[in-house]
Amino acid sequence: EPHKLVQSVQSVQSEPTPPAPPAPKTELGALALVGAVLIFSSNGAVYKLMYANDSEMFSACNVLCGASLIGLCTLVPIFCKQLTYANVSVISRTQCIALLVGTLCYSVLGPLFYLMALQTITVASAAILSRLESLEFLALAICFMGETVSCRVRANALLTFLGIAAALLSPPLFGRPLEFSGGVALMVISGVFFSTSLLITKKYLAEIPTGILACFRVGVGTIIYHVTVLVREDLPGTRFLFTLNYWRQVWWYGLLYVTLGQAVWLFALANATPKTISVGTTTLFVLMLIWAMVLLDSFPTGAQWAGSAFIGTSIVSSIALAVKEGGRTDKDVADDEEGGGYVALHQEDGMAPRMSHDAEVRGA
């Protein structure tokens, strides 16, 4: 009837309009990104210092045991609002399998091989070899996610590959022998695990709340490392785990590189602009070299400087592309093959899609 239709229209019009989501704190996000980049880039040099001080106490397994436990105890209170049965119950069986496999790659095998590699190679070598991760993920994204890649992205990838090849193959030109140690192999394997984890996260886990993802990863790593220590009591340095002296010297590492690092990184993902994140993450390579020179008095060799020149050119090109695309709309970038290829290559963290819409983390 007409009067009922009028009442229905009036009731719809009288319904309160939902409040608009709060605007991202872009300045604070950029500041958090600076902190995250400084923290993550210093990890290699800081671990080298710890390992040089006491190689048994600060073995890779020992450090990951302590850091994971400290991280778990501090991350759970931060993300307690997301750790609910309602959020866990909607995770599918496929996502559970992907979460477990991705966690083994990201929180167990990847960091273990990375720290083991740092025990025998320089931070400069680690920084150069870590650039392989972007190439590995680009290949995986093309093969398994159907990503399109522009000529500019291919050129940047080629420059990165040439830089890595120059650093590895040109030492004889500078009067030094070729170095293909076990540390180099461990670093490459570590990159494969991290790239695989990123692919799994982007493909299957983008809808899982960040708190569940972060706490599950750190929790599984904590369990596996501690079980390994309890089962393999013959591992070097295991006895230190049961001493107060060890925990006095490792608590800050877990607090800085697990808790604070993840907290400021996730806050940056939620609030900084994509252009700022892209530009910030590309500086990790340069900062790793600077941290090594400042903390360890360790400078790249001639071959590594030559390789770094190629990689640096690729980084400058990537930053220029990020700045160019920064003023365009999301639709323009999505419609442009070049934009899609760039985002696939440079969005460094698989939690970004979830974080960009997570109001709870913004509030935290």
When pLDDT is averaged across residues 89-99 and rounded to a whole number, the result is: 93
Identify the pLDDT of residue 296.
Answer: 93
Q: How far apart are CA 45 and CA 81, in angstroms?
A: 35
Which residues, in sequence order, are CB contacts of 30 under 8 Å at separation 6+? Answer: 268, 272, 273, 276, 280
More confident residue, 213 or 232: 213
Mean pLDDT of the chain: 81
| CA dihedral sign, ordered 49, 53, 59, 64 | negative
Identify the pLDDT of residue 229.
Answer: 77
Give the residue ranges of DSSP H helices in 15-59.
26-53
- Whether residue 280 is predicted with pLDDT greater than 80 in this model: the reply is yes
Q: Are 48 and 125 in contact (CB under 8 A)?
A: no
More confident residue, 69 or 362: 69
Tokens 């706490």 map to which residue? Answer: 215
Q: How far apart are CA 306 and CA 124, in angstroms?
A: 12
Identify the pLDDT of residue 308.
Answer: 93
Q: How far apart are CA 33 and CA 18, in angstroms?
A: 31
Identify the pLDDT of residue 226.
Answer: 84
Identify the pLDDT of residue 320.
Answer: 84
Q: How far apart are CA 28 and CA 271, in angstroms?
A: 7
Identify the pLDDT of residue 40.
Answer: 93
- Whether residue 353 is predicted with pLDDT greater than 50 in this model: the reply is no
- Whether residue 338 is predicted with pLDDT greater than 50 in this model: the reply is no
Distances (CA, A) of 315 to 131, 134, 220: 11, 12, 34
When pLDDT is averaged across residues 304-308 and rounded to a whole number, the result is: 93
- Least confident range of 23-32, 315-324, 353-362: 353-362
When pLDDT is averaged across residues 257-269 and rounded to a whole number, the result is: 88
When pLDDT is averaged across residues 61-86 and rounded to a whole number, the result is: 92
Q: How far apart are CA 112 and CA 228, in angstroms?
A: 12
Residues 255, 257, 259, CA angle at the centre, nearest 5°? 50
Residue-wise over 18-36: b if at least 16 C-beta within 10 A, else e? eeeeeeeeeeebbbbbbbb
When pLDDT is averaged across residues 252-270 and rounded to a whole number, the result is: 89
User: What share of the chain in percent tops pLDDT 70?
Assistant: 81
Q: How far apart are CA 8 and CA 355, in angstroms?
A: 38
User: What share of the chain in percent tops pLDDT 90?
Assistant: 47
Distances (CA, A) of 306 to 35, 159, 195: 29, 12, 26
Identify the pLDDT of residue 364.
Answer: 29
Q: Report residue 252's pLDDT band, with 50, 70 and 90 as the boundaries.
A: very high
More confident residue, 238 or 332: 238
Q: How far apart are CA 137 and CA 348, in angstroms?
A: 10
Identify the pLDDT of residue 347.
Answer: 35
Q: Are 119 and 51 in contact (CB under 8 A)?
A: yes
The kind and range of the H/E element at 9 are: helix 2-14
* Residues 160-174 pLDDT 10s: 999 999 999 989 888
Position 269, amino acid: L
Position 306, amino acid: A
When pLDDT is averaged across residues 243-247 and rounded to a whole number, the result is: 91
Phi-psi region of 342 (alpha: psi -120 to 50; beta: other; left: phi over 0): alpha
- Whether residue 337 is predicted with pLDDT greater than 60 in this model: the reply is no
Q: How far apart are CA 325 and CA 171, in angstroms?
A: 38
* DSSP states along 107-154: IIIHHHHHHHHHTTS-HHHHHHHHTHHHHHHHHHHHHHH-----HHHH
| CA dihedral sign, ordered 175, 177, 183, 186 | positive
Task: Number of helices (H) and strands (E) in the chain: give both, helices first.
Answer: 20, 0
